[in-house]
Amino acid sequence: MRLFTAGPVACFPQVLEAMSSQMFSHRSREYQELHMETVELLMNFLETRQTVLLFPSSGTGFMESSIRCGVSPNGKVLVTIIGSFGKRYAEVVETNGRQPLKLEFDLGSPVDPETLKQALDENPDVEAVTITYNETSTGVLNPLPDLAKIVKKYDKLLFVDAVSAMGAADIKVDSWGIDMVFSSSQKAFGVPPGLAFAAVSDRLLEVSERMPSKGWYFDLNLYKKFQDEKKSTPSTPPIPQIMGLNVVLKMIREMGKHSWLKMYSDRAEKIRRGVRELGLDILAKKGFESPTITVVFAPEGCSGLDIYNKMREKGFELAKGYGRLKEATFRIGHMGHITDEDIEEMFQALKSVLREIVEKA
């Protein structure tokens, strides 16, 4: 099966090879070297001199951590929502006993900067703002540098869900003023699932130091202390995934960040061109299309689910539409190990699936 999924995605062969190495203890010198080198590579990639942490969880672990460590019990968080993962952030806020103020936008649209400004004017007591950089359910990339500027002007903490953006869209943590930006291994870095990582600001670590009842497993200060003193994590980390991430970050360093990101934007452009050539429409508003996933409207009279199922029969795993868009759309993921040949063959299969559907109707 060839994968055009939303994650887990097809892993880079170099990653799979590195992950087959024998284990060592997470208290050994070998682990300490792997850990600190991976952290340093991530710091360079994310353009930060503050802190990068590795969590033995999926990306949602950092969502939980940002709220428990960065927002007072019962405190207010402005949650911007452009799709299903923004809604998840609101649930995480609520289930941790904080108050989400939901700022929701139409599906296919990004966060509107003026509306964000207005919400911050009207709610001066919010402690933090959350932004989904790339909304995987709609295929929209938010204009993060512009939005971050606004959040900083109002002097609020800024938490960014970059689960399906990091590794494919640019992130400059320090100059954009982000307090937490997190991702998972199974997306644009092309590594199996099980590892999460985030850049965390000094300011957030200070706020977190004083936060009551923040729990143990996702306590940012505990992870920072273990990293500084033991060059490791408090509990057992997913060592194979860290080996895989380490290799892919070295591939990026060798290629250069700019060329790596261009590889992703060129690939996304190629996918969008192919979709349009088949006469299909894309959900994302022009100018805000995702570099990692394209959400496509199924043609009149046919369901996105049908297209997904028929593509599977031809050996291609796309992604189903998500949430409210399940029937109306299907998604083409473009993260991880995908060749130009894979893309061409996927479009040939899609063309014949669409023809079969039309002939049957």
Ligand X SMILES: Cc1ncc(COP(=O)(O)O)c(C=O)c1O
Select 6 or 247, whichever has its Cβ closest to ligand X. 6
Q: Is the CA virtual torsion 87, 88, 94, 97 positive or negative?
A: negative
By CB under 6 A, is residue 319 in contact with ligand X?
no
Q: How far is the CB of 257 from ligand X (least distance, A)?
A: 21
DSSP letters, 259-303, are: HHHHHHHHHHHHHHHHHHHTT--BSSPTT-B-SSEEEEEPPTT--
Q: How far is the CB of 186 from ligand X (least distance, A)?
A: 6
Q: How far is the CB of 241 from ligand X (least distance, A)?
A: 12
Element (H, E) at 78: strand 76-81
d(CA 79, CA 77): 6
Residue 231 near residue 34 (C-beta atoms within 8 A): no
Select 51 or 57, whichever has its Cβ closest to ligand X. 57
Classified as helix, coil or strand, 333 is strand
Q: How far is the CB of 60 from ligand X (least distance, A)?
A: 3
Select 7 or 321, whichever has its Cβ closest to ligand X. 7
Instruction: Considering only the stretches 41-49, 159-167, 227-235, 265-273, report the one whose residues sit in contact with ligand X under the rule CB under 6 A.
Output: 159-167
DSSP letters, 300-320, are: TT--HHHHHHHHHHTTEE-EE
Q: How far is the CB of 27 from ligand X (least distance, A)?
A: 26
> What is the distance, to the nearest Å, from the Cα of residue 251 to the centroid of all Cα atoms in its chain?
20
Q: In the stretch 50-89, what mask flags binding to ligand X with x, by CB under 6 A?
A: --------xxx------------------------x----
Beta bridge partners of 77: 100, 128
By CB under 6 A, is residue 274 in contact with ligand X?
no
Backbone angles phi, psi at 293, to 5 degrees: -155, 140
Choice from 5, 68, 147, 161 touching ligand X (CB under 6 A): 161
Instruction: Considering only the stretches 98-106, 157-165, 246-254, 302-310, report the one whose residues sit in contact with ligand X under the rule CB under 6 A.
Output: 157-165
Select 283 or 349, whichever has its Cβ closest to ligand X. 283
Choice from 92, 163, 180, 271 touching ligand X (CB under 6 A): 163
Choice from 66, 142, 184, 233 touching ligand X (CB under 6 A): 184
Q: How far is the CB of 59 from ligand X (least distance, A)?
A: 3
Specify the pairing of strand 319-320 against strand 329-333.
Answer: antiparallel
Token pair, residue 302, equals 């046919």
Q: How far is the CB of 201 from ligand X (least distance, A)?
A: 20
Select 139 or 274, whichever has its Cβ closest to ligand X. 139
Q: How far is the CB of 360 from ligand X (least distance, A)?
A: 32
Q: In the stretch 124-143, what mask flags binding to ligand X with x, by CB under 6 A?
A: --------x---x-------
By CB under 6 A, is residue 190 in contact with ligand X?
no
Residue 108 near residue 288 (C-beta atoms within 8 A): no
Rounded to whole angstroms, what are the CA distances from 34 to 112, 186, 187, 242, 315?
41, 19, 21, 8, 37
d(CA 215, CA 243): 28
Q: How far is the CB of 88 from ligand X (least distance, A)?
A: 6
Torsion of CA 192, 193, 195, 198, to 10 degrees: 100
Instruction: Considering only the stretches 47-55, 70-78, 158-166, 215-223, report the one whose residues sit in contact with ligand X under the rule CB under 6 A.
Output: 158-166
Judged by CB under 6 A, the number of residues near ligand X is 12
Q: Is 20 exposed, middle or buried (0-12, 13-18, 19+ CB in 10 A)?
A: exposed
- Return residues touching ligand X (CB under 6 A): 6-7, 58-60, 85, 132, 136, 161, 163-164, 184
